[in-house]
Amino acid sequence: MGSTRARGRRAENTDFTCGYCLTPVPANTDGHYRNHCPWCLWSLHVDELPGDRASTCRELMEPVGLVEKSGKGWQVVHRCTACGHHQPNRLVRDGAAPDDLDLVLRLPWL
């Protein structure tokens, strides 16, 4: 039997409907957790630190740019439309619904 954190993390990798474009988004199948829509790149402010699900804000996060992080590759930077919190998020390159690379490449490098 896994830890509570492991069970919670598995539960987070589920289908959801994008809060911005309202498109149904499938769970990620590449071994990582999806936290943004692959078609519009918008996210939801649910974390204070990556993966902690500790934010009470829960507002939409706009994709504002790209960064490259050692060991994680390119990441989309999201900014919360309510509180301004910035959060980099790993790109989804494989699986059932990879991120729209054309849309990703339109973002400025930060």
pLDDT digits (tens, 9 = 90+) for 1-50: 333 344 445 456 788 999 999 999 998 877 777 889 999 999 999 888 87
Q: Whole-prediction pTM value?
A: 0.84
* Predicted pLDDT at 12: 64
pLDDT confidence of residue 4: 38
Q: Pick left, alpha or beta for residue 73 (phi over 0 → left; psi -120 to 50 → alpha; otherwise beta).
A: left
Cα–Cα distance, 89 to 50 (Å, whole number): 8
Half-sphere exposure of 24 (CA within 13 A, CB side): 3
Question: What is the per-residue pLDDT across 57-90, written as a single tens digit (0 to 9) for each?
Answer: 999 999 999 999 988 889 999 999 999 999 999 8
Residue pair 100/23 in contact (Cβ under 8 Å)? The answer is no
Q: What is the pLDDT of residue 20?
A: 97
